Structure 1
Amino acid sequence: MSLTARDTALRELMDDPDCDPERLRATLRRFDTVNRLVSGWGGVYTRRIRPFLAGLGRPARVLDLGCGGGDVIVRLARMAARDGIPAGWVGADPDARAIEVAAERDAPASVRFTRADSTAILAAGERFDLVVSNHVLHHLDTAALVSFTADSRALATGLVLHGDIARSRLAYALYAAGITPLQRGTFLRTDGLRSIRRSHTPAELQRILDAESPRTWRVATPAPFRLLAESRPGFETAHRAEGGSSD
Structure 2
Amino acid sequence: MQRDIAAIEKMDKPDCDPTMLERTYAQFPLVNRFVSGWRSVYLKLVRPALPHGRTGTILDIGCGGGDIAMNMVRWARADGYNVKVLGIDPDPRAHDFASRAAAAAGIGPENLEFRQATSSDLVTEGSIFDVVFSNHVLHHLNQSQLAGILADTQSLTQGIAIHSDIRRRRSALVFFGLATLPLARSSFIRCDGLTSIRRSFTPSELGRVLPRGWEAHTAGAYRNLAIWRATPRTRP
Residues 1:45 and 2:42 aligned together: yes
Alignment-derived partner of residue 25 in structure 1: 22
Residues 1:14 and 2:29 aligned together: no
Runs of 4+ residues deviating >3 angstroms: none
Normalising by the residue count of structure 2, what TM-score does the alignment of the two structures yield? 0.93
Deviation at 1:234, TM superposition (A): 3.6
Alignment-derived partner of residue 94 in structure 1: 90
Alignment-derived partner of residue 204 in structure 1: 205
Alignment-derived partner of residue 111 in structure 1: 112
Deviation at 1:107, TM superposition (A): 4.9
Alignment-derived partner of residue 241 in structure 1: none
Q: Secondary structure at the match of 1:130?
A: strand
Q: Secondary structure at the match of 2:220?
A: coil
Deviation at 1:222, TM superposition (A): 1.8
1: CA distance, partners of 2:54 / 2:82: 7
Q: Secondary structure at the match of 2:115?
A: strand
Alignment-derived partner of residue 153 in structure 1: 154
Q: Secondary structure at the match of 1:186?
A: coil
Q: How many residues align?
A: 227
Alignment-derived partner of residue 245 in structure 1: none
How do 1:215-226 residues align onto structure 2 when only pairs under 5 Å count?
216-226=213-223
1: CA distance, partners of 2:192 / 2:100: 23
Deviation at 1:183, TM superposition (A): 3.4
2: CA distance, partners of 1:50 / 1:121: 23
Alignment-derived partner of residue 125 in structure 2: 124
Q: Secondary structure at the match of 1:30?
A: helix
2: CA distance, partners of 1:184 / 1:31: 15
8 Å CA contact retained: 1:95, 1:115: yes
8 Å CA contact retained: 2:169, 2:222: yes
2: CA distance, partners of 1:67 / 1:61: 15
Alignment-derived partner of residue 80 in structure 2: 84
Once the two structures are superposed, residues 78-102 of structure 1 have per-residue CA deviations (whole angstroms, 9 ceiling, x without a partner) of 0000001111000000000001100
- Structure 2 gaps of 5+ residues are none
- Structure 1 gaps of 5+ residues are 236-247
8 Å CA contact retained: 1:74, 1:107: no
8 Å CA contact retained: 1:43, 1:222: no
Q: What is the letter of the counterpart of residue 149 of structure 1?
A: L
Q: What is the letter of the counterpart of residue 197 of structure 1?
A: R
Q: Secondary structure at the match of 2:25?
A: helix
Q: What is the letter of the counterpart of residue 98 of structure 1?
A: A
1: CA distance, partners of 2:34 / 2:177: 14
Cα 1:107–1:137 shift into 2, 3 Å: farther
2: CA distance, partners of 1:118 / 1:51: 24
